Amino acid sequence: MKIYLNGQFVDSADAAISVFDHGLLYGDGVFEGIRLYGGNVFRLEEHLERLEYSARAIMLDIPHTRAELSEIVCETCRQNGLTDAYIRLVVTRGVGDLGLAPWTCPKPSVFVIASKISLYPQEYYDNGLAIVTVPTRRIGPAALPPTVKSLNYLNNILGKIEARQFGALEAIMLNEQGYVAECTADNIFIVHKGELITPAISHGALKGITRDAVLDIAEELKVPLRDSSMTRYDVWCADECFLTGSGAEVVPVIALDGRRIGDGKPGPITREVLASFRRRVLVEGTRI
């Protein structure tokens, strides 16, 4: 496997980051998880825009233009002979000293990995996931804005560990006020009385690229849509539920905390959204 690393393509065994890189030492950096479908990098421009905004928010200067990053991403796929892949684009603060100060890091590090991913087995797309709510709360927007897709994912990882302890593959994380923020790695949607509802970004959710695609799909399907405060009760009493993310795509949820959602099967709006999403991923984006 070839990895892009700071201006060159190297074998994965030789792709090394310094132990003094602040991305490793402190989680000081930003990243994007991107998908390649049939030679089409889905919504690459939107991913690169979000990366720029995340970097701007933490005052990290990306040493490439958006056009250069686009070509680097595409070339990484070509170097590995891939037409379907998961792409990880990472920008770290770079090498510095052992102190926190980011101004000791004169040059950011940039690397791109393109490989395969299968987050959930096909049976879960066919039959749905049973998920739980975990005790760990989502970091508040005043502490770290959820719109910054940073390398510091320990909050999410703790939620993922708890999900596994409860026998689930994914889990809802609440914010400090007790409202649903997002899942450990996905945004969440419910359907109630024909309306599609998702937590507001201000409640601690990442502004997901797949989430945005679903907003467009809802308009296409003429499904009423709103973002709103959402509690566990709202999910328990929903007619349908599904999760979205670049890794997960659109995956149905059929139970939360032991309560069956709807009839316990993926619902009709969920199936329509998934079908529309799978058509869009082949045409919306950048051909490699």
Question: Which one from 149, 160, 207, 265 is the annotated catalytic residue?
Answer: 149
pLDDT tens column, 75-110:
999 999 999 999 999 999 999 999 999 999 999 999
- Using CA atoms, how far residue 238 sits from 46, 78, 163, 212, in Å, is 30, 43, 21, 21
| 149 assigned to active site | yes
Share of the chain above pLDDT 90, in %: 94
156 in the same domain as 85: no
pLDDT in tens, 176-224: 999 999 999 999 999 999 999 999 988 899 999 999 999 999 999 999 9
Q: Assess whether 108 and 128 both reside in one domain.
A: no
Range of the domain at 217: 122-285
Which of 97, 115, 133 represents a domain boundary (last residue)? 115
Number of domains in the chain: 2
Domain finish residue from 60, 83, 115: 115
The reply to whether 85 and 135 lie within a common domain is no
Same domain, 65 and 141: no
Domain shared by 152 and 212, yes or no: yes
Tell me the whole-structure pTM to 2 decimals. Answer: 0.95
Residue 94 CB partners (closer than 8 Å, separation 6+): 21, 22, 23, 105, 106, 107, 108, 109
Residues 143, 267 share a domain = yes
CB 4 within 8 A of CB 111: yes
Domain stop point among 65, 82, 115 = 115
Q: Domain check: are 66 and 104 in the same one?
A: yes
| CATH code (residue 194) | 3.20.10.10
Q: Which residue has the tokens 């402190």?
A: 26
pLDDT tier at 288, thresholds 50, 70, 90:
very high
